[in-house]
Chains A and B, each alone.
Chain A
């Protein structure tokens, strides 16, 4: 296990000494789905611009919940409660004058289960820009091409933009979802186990896409696959039962964990 991770890290780009800019900062975040069950416990984390940050940890530890706090997708669930503060680019996203639609436009999200809409490929990618007010066909065409190129899908679909997105393979669908998120020109992309339901080749392709994207976007990725975290991310947070146990540069966290729990987890002793 350890060896695998080191191999994966070998591919990793070492964090350069460039000055880091904080994009997301959480302050004492607690989260409850029901009143008596704390799902996130005192989360304090800073996520840097144009880096890939991975959340790892055993299933049910709250990775997705934390991720969904960043674009307020949890707001949809009735009965939730959150305390603490989350700032994105310096603004408190839970303050009452934040417009949810604007926030979500700025923060793209890719889900665990690929969710292309039952429309054509073109319509899927143009969906975000359209609901955000872009109407000109040529502008949309341009955005669609740009986003699909960035999502590494343009070559495969450029001749069938008007066929149904449901006809694509699983991996292509997931890359379409990435492209669809990119079409809004977001600053941040949240990915919740984007490759967990894909075959190894498609997974590989998604990881390549992520590596290309990190030059332009801040990416937060949830994964339960440690090799994946090692391969794609620069920073990794290890979570357990609602707490962040350890947060560090990926190479440091995997080669030299400071916490016993982290070491146990990455050496496969539990989880």
Chain B
């Protein structure tokens, strides 16, 4: 009896209990990270292409994505277990879907044919088959050519080159047309009933005509070039034999990349992998974001987090300093402090709604009325944009910064403050020269927490400026470089959109994991940078107690 008592008293069970709590929490975090990392890293590894012949004679070609056991209702109304394999057969435009579940019991033979080719296309996902022939202009190469795959690659290089040129021409055309379309837009906005405007209309009409004449020659030349390139594209064709033996003509201009995974060594697969990761990081998304890269989303996330930090840190620090150093402590200040802390518990969507109502409609609307009248009725700042999203998140993360800064302030020894005052410093000099430097680590802690919270938020962003696909980055080389009014893309929203809103969720799954992994990585990186600075500061001011 006594021994049991001392056992409980000594607290061994509590040590066990707290230890178990720690292990459980850590375990869940590691499990989550593990799943994300494993699936995210695996997404770009080129998978071999298998060929299946079923007992009923049908044939399928594709990558194995999954295997599972399933229950099947047998004719005698009992359930039997069957094994299934999920094959990504691609060729969505022909089969109607990307995937096919095959029962093990139906499969007669399976093998990995050396010559099988995977075509990554700009649209409609992957295409699997065997190259039957390649036509480049009037030359045709068939299976009799031993270097057929080289010919295919040659054709691909040509169409990719053409694609670049076409994009350039289209951009030039756009630039060329811009002044004209602006004049036309102005014209369309003018109410021609009034007398004054008639003169203006005439003026504008004349200007439009002049512009038209001026650009005509250049325009014709550019569009001719474009037609010529398209004409070339239409003569570069690869004929592909798909699983069931039919030959399909695929215009090479629809293809982005082709490779024969079954022939590739581990080393060349690794190279391929690196190239794909690189593309993922720096390319624009394709096919409603389920393919291609996420660069605009990375960029948008980082810029937004930076803008948010630039806003929230000064305001949070100022608020904390006022609360602690200047305000007369009492009931009111206690209430304010309590409210600020509780702000952290307000659901983020509420902040989003506030951002929409206050920042976008009221402030943005007013800005448009005052400074962007010429653009009305289309809004400039009166609609979601990266500025408003950042401000909303700044508001959301304000309590974190205030609380962390206050903690820092409380840790500044009062001897140091008094010492500064005793030397004839004013209160502000004391705060700036003694207090602020010693709370820098605390401020950075607040910033780290704010970044972690802010970078992961999606809900408030959805109504304050995030879009599925932004036409332009919020930062580019055209004046004023940082375009605060622009809509932007965000990794968190990207995950939601690709994983749950895209028409082809199954095929997009790897993308979801990779993007999630990337988001975690970015948050960690931003944090590490802040921690690095904090440690530097700590070494400089060893007295601080963080």
Contact = CB atoms under 8 A, between A and B. Distances in A.
B421 A73 contact: yes
A223 to B, nearest CB: 18
A132 B421 CA distance: 12
A118 interface: yes
24 contacts: A76-B421, A101-B424, A104-B423, A104-B424, A105-B423, A115-B416, A115-B418, A117-B419, A118-B416, A118-B434, A127-B420, A127-B423, A128-B424, A131-B425, A131-B426, A132-B424, A164-B540, A164-B542, A166-B541, A167-B542, A177-B419, A180-B419, A180-B423, A181-B423
Residue of A102, A105, A108, A118 ringed by the most chain B CB atoms within 10 A: A118
Contacts of A127: 420, 423, 425, 433
A118 B429 contact: no
Contact of B422 (A109, A118, A164, A167): A109
Contacts of B426: 101, 131
B331 to A, nearest CB: 15
A180 to B, nearest CB: 7
Interface in A101-121: 101-102, 104-105, 108-109, 111, 113, 115, 117-119
Residue of B434, B540, B543 ringed by the most chain A CB atoms within 10 A: B543
A101 B420 CA distance: 11
A111 B433 CA distance: 19
Contacts of A131: 420, 423-426, 429, 433
Contacts of B437: 118-119
Given A104-B421, A104-B424, A118-B541, 13 more contacts: A76-B421, A111-B419, A117-B416, A117-B433, A118-B437, A118-B438, A118-B543, A119-B437, A119-B541, A127-B420, A128-B424, A167-B542, A177-B419
B476 interface: no
B545 to A, nearest CB: 11
Interface in A210-267: none
B413 interface: yes
Contacts of B150: none
A184 interface: yes
B544 interface: yes
Contacts of B541: 118-119, 164, 166
B404 to A, nearest CB: 18
Contacts of A78: 328
Interface string A68-112: 000101001010000000000000000000000110110011010
A82 to B, nearest CB: 18
A197 to B, nearest CB: 11
Contacts of B416: 115, 117-118
Contacts of B425: 101, 127-128, 131
A64 B201 CA distance: 86
Interface string B401-440: 0000000000001011011111111100100011001100
Contacts of A167: 542
A166 B419 contact: no
A83 B371 CA distance: 61
A133 B438 CA distance: 23
B423 A184 contact: yes
Contacts of B413: 113, 115
Interface of A: 71, 73, 76, 78, 101-102, 104-105, 108-109, 111, 113, 115, 117-119, 127-128, 131-132, 164, 166-167, 177, 180-181, 184
Nearest to B425: A131
A173 to B, nearest CB: 10
A111 B542 contact: no
Given A131-B433, A164-B540, A115 B424 contact: no
Contact residues of B: prevailing secondary structure: helix
A113 B415 contact: yes
A127 B423 CA distance: 8
A128 B421 contact: no
Contacts of B544: 118
Contacts of A128: 423-425
Given A115-B415, A117-B434, A166 B423 contact: no
A166 B539 CA distance: 10
Contact of A73 (B422, B429, B540, B543): B422
3 closest Cβ pairs, A-B complex: A118-B541, A105-B424, A115-B415
Interface in B314-370: 328
A109 B416 CA distance: 12
A86 B156 CA distance: 95
Contacts of A117: 416, 419-420, 433-434
A73 B433 contact: no
Nearest to B438: A118
A184 B434 contact: no
Residue of B328, B415, B424, B544 ringed by the most chain A CB atoms within 10 A: B424
Contacts of B433: 117, 127, 131
A266 B396 CA distance: 64
Given A118-B438, A118-B543, A166-B543, A111 B418 contact: yes
Interface string B428-464: 0100011001100000000000000000000000000
Contacts of B419: 109, 111, 115, 117, 177, 180
Contacts of B421: 73, 76, 104
Contacts of A184: 423-424
A108 B422 CA distance: 7
Contacts of B420: 117, 127, 131
Contacts of A113: 413, 415
Contacts of A111: 415, 418-419, 422
A132 to B, nearest CB: 5
Contacts of A180: 419, 423
Nearest to B328: A78
Nearest to B537: A118
Contacts of A181: 422-423
Contacts of B540: 118, 164
A119 B438 CA distance: 9
A78 B330 CA distance: 12
Contacts of A109: 419, 422
